[in-house]
């Protein structure tokens, strides 16, 4: 038969015990000084003052000193006990209440109540920092929950469309209202490819954001990356009637990157730029010096642009900027999220800017110099 674990003392009890030990130590010290050290010193000073010939008087003086010291020590001790008890009780209640609020909120947070928050206790910077850290954690969890819900909803929508198309064509084939000709096979293949691409993109962004991507980084001239990206996207841009060009500033330092991964990033950015730039528009890929060192790879277009309310979210999975950038445009909605994760895996950053709808967009990749 196992014994129940001993109940641990609470914070209030621990502080009271600690203050009791301090007061007991102070009382013991005061008694020792008042009854042993003090009278001896007092007697010595009497002897030095030449009062050793008055034994009775000396005895009364010393007794008076001892009594006065005892009364003073007792009164001081009682006052210290009362004051210490009041202060400790008030302080421990406030501290205990603050910690209990954090504990209760943490339990609620663990149970899925993500809107719980802790007010600042006003007990000093440390406790305010604790409450602030807890609230930031709750904010992150709540935001993560919203993102997961939106991710699942968008993923369901992404999957539903091709699955519904495939199902509709199969039912039409079974009913004999649709012939299994080249156009039908092409539609089924296109929808199958869309599902495959979606699955591959989800795997890619998950690995990239988790830091599981293995980089084969080598010193690379930024101009080579610009030239390769322009060459790969030139035919696509021409088919859309979009002018595509590249430029590289002189004397740029090398960047230590995985060439394949950075070209994947630039291809994603160029694909978006060309897709959302009307015929007659222009897309420019450039490499230049970054502020504070490093290199910037910039993809700028004269296309649809992005509203300021959308800029903070363009790198979220499946985020669409209005109806102009909808699912019918052909993207999976994950390309920018993959690009951001890959750039950050290189120790760099990816940022988006736009002067507003209809005024073009600029995506800037900043990489540290090699």
pLDDT single digits (tens) 2-49:
444 445 556 666 777 777 787 777 777 766 666 665 566 666 665 666
Tens digit of each residue's pLDDT (9 = 90 or more) over 57-72? 556 565 666 666 666 6
Let me know: does 338 contact 208? Beta carbons within 8 Å. yes
Both structure tokens of 322: 């209005």
198 phi and psi, to 5 degrees?
Answer: -65, -45
Q: Distance (Å, rounded) from C-alpha 170 to C-alpha 190?
A: 14
User: Which pTM does this prediction carry?
Assistant: 0.55
Residue 148 is predicted with a pLDDT of 72
β strands within 122-275, DSSP E: 218-220, 243-248, 255-257
Pick from 324, 312, 316, 325: nearest CA to 352: 312
Q: Are strands 243-248 and 361-367 parallel, antiparallel or unpaired?
A: unpaired
367 phi and psi, to 5 degrees?
Answer: -125, 140
Which residues neighbour 64 within 8 Å (Cβ) at sequence distance 6 or greater? none
Number of other CB atoms surrounding residue 297 within 10 Å: 28
Max CA distance (Å), the chain:
136
Residue 326 is predicted with a pLDDT of 46
Residue 1 is predicted with a pLDDT of 44
Q: At what angle do helices 259-275 and 335-345 cross, to 10 degrees?
A: 150
- Domain boundaries of the chain, sorted by first residue: 11-113, 126-210, 218-367
Which residues neighbour 291 within 8 Å (Cβ) at sequence distance 6 or greater? none
β strands within the chain, DSSP E: 218-220, 243-248, 255-257, 282-289, 295-301, 349-354, 361-367
Q: Distance (Å, rounded) from C-alpha 96 to C-alpha 103?
A: 10
Residue 222 is predicted with a pLDDT of 95
Report DSSP state, residue 352: E
- Matching CATH topology for 126-210 and 218-367? no
pLDDT (tens digit, 0 to 9) for every residue of the chain, 370 residues total?
444 444 555 666 677 777 778 777 777 776 666 666 556 666 666 566 655 555 555 565 656 666 666 666 677 777 777 777 777 777 777 777 777 777 788 888 777 777 788 877 776 677 778 888 888 888 888 877 776 776 677 677 667 778 888 888 888 888 888 888 888 888 888 888 878 877 777 777 677 666 667 788 899 999 999 999 999 999 989 999 999 999 999 999 999 999 988 998 999 899 899 999 999 999 999 999 998 889 999 999 999 899 888 888 888 776 666 544 444 444 556 778 888 988 998 999 999 999 889 899 999 999 998 7
Q: Distance (Å, rounded) from C-alpha 113 to C-alpha 109?
A: 5
For 330, how many CA atoms within 13 A lie in the half-sphere containing its CB?
7
∠ Cα 309 354 209 (to 5°):
70
Q: Are strands 243-248 and 282-289 parallel, antiparallel or unpaired?
A: parallel
Both structure tokens of 93: 């209640």
Number of other CB atoms surrounding residue 79 within 10 Å: 10
- What is the residue whose two structure tokens read 């609020």? 101
Burial 192-219 (b: 16+ CB within 10 A, else e): eebeeebeebbebbebbbeeebeeebee
Start-to-end CA distance of the chain, whole Å, equals 67
CATH class of 218-367: alpha beta
Let me know: does 274 contact 242? Beta carbons within 8 Å. yes
Radius of gyration of the chain, Cα coordinates, nearest whole angstrom: 38
Let me know: does 325 contact 276? Beta carbons within 8 Å. yes
Provide the CATH topology of domain 126-210.
Answer: Helix Hairpins (1.10.287)
Residue 4 is predicted with a pLDDT of 44
242 phi and psi, to 5 degrees?
Answer: -110, 130
Q: Distance (Å, rounded) from C-alpha 142 to C-alpha 105?
A: 14
Residue 240 is predicted with a pLDDT of 92
């Amino acid at each position: 038969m196992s014994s129940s674990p001993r109940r641990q003392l609470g914070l209030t009890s621990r502080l009271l015990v600690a203050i009791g030990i301090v007061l007991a130590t102070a009382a013991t010290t005061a008694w020792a000084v008042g009854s042993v050290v003090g009278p001896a010193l007092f007697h010595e000073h009497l002897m030095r003052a030449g009062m050793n010939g008055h034994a009775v008087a000396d005895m009364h003086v010393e007794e008076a000193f001892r009594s006065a010291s005892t009364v003073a020590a007792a009164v001081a001790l009682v006052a210290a006990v009362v004051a210490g008890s009041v202060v400790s009780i008030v302080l421990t209640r406030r501290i205990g209440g603050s910690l209990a609020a954090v504990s209760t909120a943490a339990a609620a947070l663990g149970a899925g109540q993500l809107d719980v928050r802790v007010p600042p206790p006003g007990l000093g910077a440390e406790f305010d920092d604790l409450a602030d850290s807890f609230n930031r954690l709750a904010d992150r969890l709540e935001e993560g929950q919203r993102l997961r819900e939106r991710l699942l909803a968008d993923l369901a929508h992404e999957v539903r469309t091709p699955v519904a198309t495939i199902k509709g064509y199969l039912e039409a084939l079974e009913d004999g209202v649709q012939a299994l000709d080249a156009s039908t096979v092409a539609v089924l293949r296109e929808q199958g490819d869309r599902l495959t691409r979606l699955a591959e993109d989800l795997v890619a962004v998950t690995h990239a954001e988790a830091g599981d991507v293995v980089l084969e980084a080598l010193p690379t001239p930024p101009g080579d990356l610009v030239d390769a990206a322009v060459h790969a996207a030139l035919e696509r841009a021409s088919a859309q009637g979009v002018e595509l060009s590249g430029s590289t500033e002189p004397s740029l330092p090398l960047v230590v990157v995985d060439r394949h991964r950075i070209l994947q990033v630039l291809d994603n950015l160029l694909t978006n730029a060309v897709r959302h730039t009307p015929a007659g528009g222009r897309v420019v890929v450039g490499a230049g010096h970054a502020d504070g060192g490093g290199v910037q790879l910039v993809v700028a277009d004269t296309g649809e642009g992005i509203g300021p309310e959308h800029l903070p979210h363009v790198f979220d999975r499946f985020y669409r900027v209005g109806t102009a950038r909808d699912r019918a445009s052909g993207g999976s909605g994950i390309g920018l999220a993959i690009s951001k994760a890959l750039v950050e895996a290189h120790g760099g950053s990816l940022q988006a800017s736009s002067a507003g709808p209809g005024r073009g967009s600029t995506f800037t990749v900043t990489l540290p110099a090699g």
